[in-house]
Structure 1
Amino acid sequence: MSNLGNLTDKILEEAKIKAQRQIGEAEAFSKDTVSRKVKEAEEKKAKMLEKAAFDANLLKERMISNAEVNSRNEVLSSKQRIIDKVFEEAKKRLGELPKDQYIEYVKTTLSSLNLKGTETLLVKKEYRDDLKALGLGYEISEESVESGFQVKDDKISLNYNFNDMVDFYRDELVKDVADALFKE
């Protein structure tokens, strides 16, 4: 039986060694798996942080860009309001031309036109008598205009109303007015 005891002890010893080896392999596998998973998690974390930083930077750039666009739009809107006021003020001042300047404008404009002499003039009511007294060679109508004047005939009507003229030439003048107002 001592052979049997030795054999049993030997089998037990080999089983212990085998068990220790398997435990060692399992622990090494476990450590390797944990190490790999930790490394993967770290890489994933780094990628997520990189993506978050990229997204945050992109969001920041968009917010800055939007703020710049809104700021630019507000400046443009303010400039447009100022330009509108300038054109309204021009209409007002032209409508309030002093008598001598108004009469000179009418005379100068009429002299530059190729008219037959049968036309009728519609002028500002307050200057009607002064223009009649000049004897310009045109009938002065009892109808009046608020600003500027009109030349009417059976087939034609020439409009020199200051408000209409300012509106008509506005598109051509806006750039010059803006340049004069907002030199940068």
Structure 2
Amino acid sequence: MSNLDNLVAEILQQAQKEANRMLTKAKTENSEFSEKENKKVQKEVEAIKDKATEEAQALKERVISNANLKSRDMILQAKEELVDDILERVLERLKNIDTKKYLKFVENILKNLNLSKNAEVIVSKDMRLALGDKILDYRISDQTVESGCSIKDGNLIYNNEFSNLIEFNREELEREILNKIFE
């Protein structure tokens, strides 16, 4: 039995060596596999981090851009309100212009137009009372305007009411006001 025991012991020893070799090989393969998978996961993690960083940067830029746009819009709105306020004050001052300046304004308009002798000048109610029936040989109409004047010559009406003159020249006036205020 000793041969048999030796043979069994030798087989067991070879089996043990084979098992150890297989176990070592499995551990090595497992370690290599784990390392490869860890590298893959690490690459994916890095890719996700990079993408998140890019998205965060893009979001930051959008937020800053939106904030800049809102800020610009607020500034533009404030400037527009300022210009509106100034133009309203101008209109109020023009509505309360003294008779001498008003007369000069109307006369300048009449001199610059090629009117027939039948033309009528339409003035504000207050100025109609102050000016009477004629101005530069043109009849003052019974009709009135809120401010400024209009000239009716046949079917043509030249509208020189202060509110219309301001609105007609608004862009130029806005530019001039803003240039003077924000030089």
TM-score, scaled relative to structure 2: 0.89
Query: Is 1:88 paired with 2:88?
Result: yes
Instruction: String of CA shifts for 1:22-48, please: whole Å, max 9, x gaps.
Output: 111111112222222222222222222
**Worse-superposed segment, 18-27 or 113-122:** 113-122
The amino acid across from 2:105 in the alignment is Y
The amino acid across from 2:147 in the alignment is S
**Structure 1 residues 6 and 129: CA distance shift in structure 2, 3 A:** closer
Distance 1:18 1:81 in 2: 92
User: Which ranges of structure 2 fall in alignment gaps of 5 or more residues?
Assistant: none
Match of 2:126 in 1: 126
3-state SS of paired residue (2:141)? strand
**Structure 1 residues 154 and 134: CA distance shift in structure 2, 3 A:** closer
Q: Which stretches of structure 1, 4 residues or more, deviate above 6 A after TM superposition?
A: none
Structure 1 residue 102: deviation in Å?
0.4
TM-score, scaled relative to structure 1: 0.89
Distance 1:91 1:11 in 2: 116
Identity %: 32
Q: Over aligned residues, Cα RMSD in angstroms?
A: 1.9
Distance 1:60 1:157 in 2: 58
**Structure 1 residues 129 and 136: CA distance shift in structure 2, 3 A:** farther
The amino acid across from 1:37 in the alignment is E
Q: Say how many residue pairs are matched.
A: 183
Instruction: String of CA shifts for 1:92-125, please: whole Å, max 9, x gaps.
Output: 1111111110011112221222222211111122
Query: Is 1:78 paired with 2:82?
Result: no
Decide whether the 8 Å contact of 2:116 with 2:153 is kept in 1.
no
Distance 2:133 2:7 in 1: 149
Q: For 1:33-182, list aligned pairs within 5 A.
A: 33-132=33-132, 136-182=136-182
User: Which ranges of structure 1 fall in alignment gaps of 5 or more residues?
Assistant: none
